[in-house]
Amino acid sequence: MNRGFTTAILHSDREAPIEHHSVLKPMHTAVAFGYPDSRDLVKVFKNEMPGYSYGRQGNPTTAALEAKVTRMEDGIATICFATGMAAIASTFAALLRAGDHVVSSSFLFGNTNSLLGTFGALGCEVSFVDATDAANVARAIRAETRLVFVETIANPRTQVADLERIGALCAAKGIVYFVDNTMTSPWLYRPKRHGASLVINSLTKCIGGHGNALGGAVTDTGLYDWTRFPNIHGSYKGANPANWCMLQIRKKGLRDVGATLAAEPAHRIAQGSETLALRMDRCCANALALARFLAAHPKVTRVFYPGLADHPQHRAATEWFRGAGGLLSFELADGIDCCDFLNRLELVISSSHLGDNRTLAIPIAQTIYWDMGAARRAEMGISESLIRVSVGIEDEADLIGDFRQALG
Ligand X SMILES: *Cc1c(COP(=O)(O)O)cnc(C)c1O
Binding site for ligand X (CB under 6 A): 83-85, 109, 112, 151, 155, 180, 182-183, 202, 204-205, 214, 216
Taking the complex as a whole, the smallest distance from the CB of residue 360 to ligand X amounts, in Å, to: 12
CA distance 91 to 25: 28
Rounded to a whole number of angstroms, the minimum distance from the CB of residue 153 to ligand X is 8
Select the residue whose beta carbon is closest to ligand X and give its number.
Answer: 84
Residue 383 beta carbon to ligand X: minimum distance, rounded to whole angstroms: 21
| Residue 401 CB partners (closer than 8 Å, separation 6+) | none
Q: Which is nearer to ligand X, 13 or 191 (CB)?
A: 191
**Identity of the residue, 78 or 182, whose beta carbon is nearer to ligand X in the bound complex:** 182
Q: Which is nearer to ligand X, 214 or 287 (CB)?
A: 214
CB of 396 to ligand X, least distance (A): 24
- 186/216 with CB nearer ligand X: 216
What count of Cα atoms within 13 Å lies in the side-chain half-sphere of residue 100? 20
* Shortest separation between residue 75's beta carbon and ligand X, angstroms: 18
Q: How far is the CB of 90 from ligand X (least distance, A)?
A: 11
Cβ proximity to ligand X, 61 vs 204, nearer residue: 204
Q: Supply the minimum distance, in Å, between the C-beta of residue 42 and ligand X.
A: 35
Q: Return the number of the residue (66 or 180) whose C-beta is nearest ligand X.
A: 180
Instruction: Kindly tell me which of 272 and 300 has the beta carbon lying closer to ligand X.
Output: 272
Task: Report the C-alpha gap between 192 and 171 in whole angstroms.
Answer: 12
